[in-house]
Structure formats: C-alpha cells, structure tokens
Chains A and B, each alone.
Chain A
Amino acid sequence: EVQLVESGGDLIQPGRSLRLSCAASGFKFGDYAMHWVRKPPGKGLEWVSGINWNSGVIAYADSVKGRFTISRDNAKNSLFLEVNSLRVEDTALYYCAKGSGRRSVEWSPSDSWGQGTLVIVSS
C-alpha cells in the first residue's frame, strides 16, 4: 500500500523559511515523479512543484519560482520542499503526491496523495 507522510509544517512569520518533508513507502519511490500540491483555506488545489524520477526535470508554479526548491533522496525514499521568503498567501495545506507514470519522460497525474502538512504564514 502506498503511503505518503508529510511533515515540517508550522506557524511561521512572513519572510522566514521552512523545510517540508515527505516520507514514502509501499512503492519503488525512485521510479516515479513526485509533486507538491497545496490547498489554501477555502480555495482550490494549486500545483506547486514537480520533480521527475531521477531529479533530471524540475518545474515550479510561477507563484513560487525562485522561492521554493524541490528535491528528493531516492536512497531514503524522501521528497523535500524548501520554502523561503514565505508570504501570507503561501498559507495552505501542502500535499505530497505521487505521479502515476513509472520512469516516464512526461508528467502524469497523481494517483496517491498524503494527508498534508499545514503551513500558516502570519505575523
């Protein structure tokens, strides 16, 4: 059974930084692209960033480009998101999600999601 467990969310002041983590199990982590998707309170889903299976392709939403950095450690079955220069509008539940295409050269929709970790940016 695929399990994705996020951690690292916190109440934090604007301008500060956080490191979000996602521990994966139940599948061959190193074969799949991974994503971060967030859901601000009362709003819809927003794709934040994706990284392919071997870290060779990385992409970001325009709203976070230059502030957020996605990475993965396939040896430790872990996904990360460094979030810097946080803004109030970054407040959201951050989900880790698994891509569905094994060692795919193209992006694929997410077929498994974690429960999310909450980031609240407030002074």
Chain B
Amino acid sequence: DIVMTQSPDSLAVSLGERATINCKSSQSLLYSSNNRDYIAWFQQKPGQTPRLLIYWGSTRESGVPDRFSGSGSGTDFTLSISSLQAEDVAVYYCQQYYTTPLTFGGGTKVEIK
C-alpha cells in the first residue's frame, strides 16, 4: 500500500501569512504515460464534510480560492495557502488515487496564531 505522510501534524499561522503543508508518498504518484501526479488535497472544517481543493497535484477545483495552490511531483507535494484567512481553519488531507487502496495522509490541522 502507498503510505502518505503529512507534516506537520498542526501549524498556527497569523492571518494574512502563508501556510505550507507537506505530503510525502512512499512511492511515486507520477504516471509517466500522461505526466500527471495522482494526488488530491481536501479541506475539512469543523463539523463539515470534506471538500476537494486540488487534484492532479496542482489543479484547483471549481470555486476554490486562488490563495490555495498545490505543487510538487513524484513523491513530494505541498499545499500552500498564500494568505491565511479565518475561514481556512480546518484539517487538510492529501490523498493518492494512483492505485488502490486509495490512501489519505494523517491530516494537518491549521489554526490561527
């Protein structure tokens, strides 16, 4: 199974500052035939269902603010929030969909400093 390791477990960032979440996969998520990374990022706010933010490693889902961006390739990936807003307080998860079983990272809790 592909293991997804997120870091840090939690972080506190001041409003308007940048938040960076890392995700490392135990094997490459890059499919050579289409040059796509099979990783997605989700946001889960307290009391709410998960929301898809990013897929193919860097493609924003419709309606997601452009302060959210995904980067990386192969085994190392990053979700960045360029200017943290109060409504961004949530737990963020990476997920690989390269192969089954699909697997999530352990989650990163983002709070306001």
Contacts and interface: CB of A to CB of B under 8 A. Distances in A.
Given A109-B52, A113-B49, A60 B104 contact: no
B28 interface: no
B104 A47 contact: yes
Interface residues of B, number: 23
Contact of A109 (B40, B103, B105, B106): B40
Nearest to A93: B49
A42 B8 CA distance: 17
Majority DSSP secondary structure for residues of A touching B = strand
B93 A44 contact: yes
Interface string B74-113: 0000000000000000010101010011111111000000
Contacts of B102: 35, 47, 50, 59, 107
B104 to A, nearest CB: 5
Contacts of A108: 55, 97
Given A45-B44, A109-B40, A109-B95, A114 B49 contact: yes
A13 B107 CA distance: 29
A35 B101 CA distance: 11
Interface in A65-123: 95, 97, 100, 106-111, 113-116
Interface of A: 35, 37, 44-47, 50, 59-62, 95, 97, 100, 106-111, 113-116
